[in-house]
Structure formats: structure tokens, C-alpha cells
């Protein structure tokens, strides 16, 4: 099975964001996916579709993402405004409490797309109601894959660690009995390519499309350093006994040659 992990597109309604046009980057990513990976099952966007959460930005995002030749699944991030999002995507799945999260059953296991948006601020949250929903989804047998915007752990960049998912222990209490069948955790938010393990669970994060967070392990939590490292998306290959995550620098224009 093959699918695409796209995150942090940060589209704005008009003009530039940090001197660049996020919608143009999204157009380029969609064009790349259609040309190179139209055999993928779907695209999962792990949040921060827009930068300001306004209706016009969601309309512009929709205009680009709907050009995909394959299905796509959308998730919310800290830059989202859920009411504005639902105006543009009224059929977006929500749980019984209105959180934008869903379970997708595939041939390789259950994909759990989680809503980690807090009511206020940029840090993530996973409240008791969401934990109850998650516990019910985990009652189904078989392999499990998690998708979320905020990581439930620190990554070493102090500014991003300050706005990780703050309900990490409660979240882990729910999932810990199932660790042996959790095959991978995919997240966004950090705008960097990161791989590792957390409490026995492998994880990966992709770069954003418009701008990145610099690899700055020294600056205080009050200071986020950005840069313009190349945009990328993930190409994920699933087998019965393996998860392979390729980072695709789709905007790279360097010469290709045979070795």
C-alpha cells in the first residue's frame, strides 16, 4: 500500500507569507503527486491547511487540493478555525463531540486521524472526550497507525516543545495497552523532517510547504527560528512487516543522472 503524507500548507487568501506564496507551493505539490504518485491510495494532510484560518484561505486551499487525482483526507492543526473549515468542507468527518477525527480501515490496518487542536493557543490538546473516542476506536483488532498534528513528545527544539500536545500522558494511558500493534505515528506541526521512536512507537514528521522551522536546539522557547529549507511531502509504503517513509523534495531541480 502506498499513500502520501502532506502537512502544514499554510495557505493564505491572497498575497505572500514570509515573502512566498503558499498556494503556489501547494499547486506544485499537487502537480508532483499527480504526475509521480497517482497510484497512491490517498493523501493525508496533517493540519495547518491555512495560516490564518479564514474562509477565503480555505476556499483557495480547496481550489488547489481538489485538483488531486486521488482521494484526500484533511486534519486540523493549531492554525485552523474549525467553523470556517467546515464552511468549505461541510462533509469533513467529525466525531460525536464535533472534533475533526475519524477512523479509516485499510487492508493494512486502521488509520486513526486525530484532532489535537486546543480551544486556544498553539499548543495541542487531547481532552477526556477525545480520549474516550480513541479508546473505542482501539477496540477493533489489528494494526493501528496514528496521524496527528501535534506530537505528544518533545523533539529538542524548545519553542516547538512548548507547543507540543500537552495531554501527552493521558493520551499515552489510552494507547499504551495497544503499543505492540501500533505500527507508526505520523505528525506535522514542527515543519522539519524528523524520525525516531517514542515509548516503543516509531514516528515521522514531514517538512511544511511554505517555510520550515530551523534546526535550532539552543534558542529559548520564546523564539522560533524559521528558514526556507526545501518543501517536501512523504511517500509512505506499507507492507505486512514494514513501514517505509520517503521524504520527497518535490521542488528539487538538480540534475538527474544514472549512477
- How does pLDDT run across 53-68, given as a tens digit for each residue? 999 999 999 999 999 9
Across 233-239, average pLDDT: 98
What is the average per-residue pLDDT within 152-161? 98
Report the chain's C-alpha Rg in angstroms.
17
CB within 8 Å of 207: residues ≥ 6 apart: 8, 191, 192, 193, 229, 230, 231, 232, 247
Q: How confident is the model at residue 230 (pLDDT cuts 50, 70, 90)?
A: very high
Q: State residue 198's pLDDT score.
A: 98
**pLDDT recorded at residue 173:** 98
C-alpha 209/C-alpha 29 separation (Å) is 8
Could you tell me if 209 and 25 are in contact, meaning their C-beta atoms sit under 8 angstroms apart? yes
Residue 119: predicted pLDDT: 95
Mean pLDDT value across residues 101-112:
98
Angstrom distance (rounded) from CA 150 to CA 161: 10
Give the pLDDT score at 129. 98
d(CA 186, CA 22) in angstroms, rounded, equals: 22
Rounded Cα distance, 38 and 249, in Å: 17
Residue 86 dihedral angles phi and psi, to the nearest 5°: -70, -25
Q: For 196, which DSSP code?
A: E
Tell me what pLDDT residue 96 has.
Answer: 97
Helix (H), strand (E) at residue 7: none
CA 36 to centroid of chain Cα atoms: 20
The per-residue DSSP string of 159-174 comes to: HHHTTSBTTHHHHHHH
> What is residue 235's predicted lDDT score, i.e. its pLDDT?
98
Please, which pLDDT band fits residue 176 given cuts at 50, 70 and 90? very high
Given a contact cutoff of 8 angstroms between Cβ atoms, the answer to whether 244 and 228 are in contact is no
Report the pLDDT value the prediction gives residue 114, as an integer from 0 to 100: 98
Mean per-residue pLDDT over the chain, rounded: 97
User: What does DSSP say about strands 194-198 and 201-205: parallel, antiparallel, or unpaired?
Assistant: antiparallel
Q: What is the DSSP letter of 254?
A: P
Over residues 111-130, mean pLDDT: 97
Distance CA 155, CA 177 (A): 24
Specify the pLDDT at position 102: 98
Amino acid at each position: 500500500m502506498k499513500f502520501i503524507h502532506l502537512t502544514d500548507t499554510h495557505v493564505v487568501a491572497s498575497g505572500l507569507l514570509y515573502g512566498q506564496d503558499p498556494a503556489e507551493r501547494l499547486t506544485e505539490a499537487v502537480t508532483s503527486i499527480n504526475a509521480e504518485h497517482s497510484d497512491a491510495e490517498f493523501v493525508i494532510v496533517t493540519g495547518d491547511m491555512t495560516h490564518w484560518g479564514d474562509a477565503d484561505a480555505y476556499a483557495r486551499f480547496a481550489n488547489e487540493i481538489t485538483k488531486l487525482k486521488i482521494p484526500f483526507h484533511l486534519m486540523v492543526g493549531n492554525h485552523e478555525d474549525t467553523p470556517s473549515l467546515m464552511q468549505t468542507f461541510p462533509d469533513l468527518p467529525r466525531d460525536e463531540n464535533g472534533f475533526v477525527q475519524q477512523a479509516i480501515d485499510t487492508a493494512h490496518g486502521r488509520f486513526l486521524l486525530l484532532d489535537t487542536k486546543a480551544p486556544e493557543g498553539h499548543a495541542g490538546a487531547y481532552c477526556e472526550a477525545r480520549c474516550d473516542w480513541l479508546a473505542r476506536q482501539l477496540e477493533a483488532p489489528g494494526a493501528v497507525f496514528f496521524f496527528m498534528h501535534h506530537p505528544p513528545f518533545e523533539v529538542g527544539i524548545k519553542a516547538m516543545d512548548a507547543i507540543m500536545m500537552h495531554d501527552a500522558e493521558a493520551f499515552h494511558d489510552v494507547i499504551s495497552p495497544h503499543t505492540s500493534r501500533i505500527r507508526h505515528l505520523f505528525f506535522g506541526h514542527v515543519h522539519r523532517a524528523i524520525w525516531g521512536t517514542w515509548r516503543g512507537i516509531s514516528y515521522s514528521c514531514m517538512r511544511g510547504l511554505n517555510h520550515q522551522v530551523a534546526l535550532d536546539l539552543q534558542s529559548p522557547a520564546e523564539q522560533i527560528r524559521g528558514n526556507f529549507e526545501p518543501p517536501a511531502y512523504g511517500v509512505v509504503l506499507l507492507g505486512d512487516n514494514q513501514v517505509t517513509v520517503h521524504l520527497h523534495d518535490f521542488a528539487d531541480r538538480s540534475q538527474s543522472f544514472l549512477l
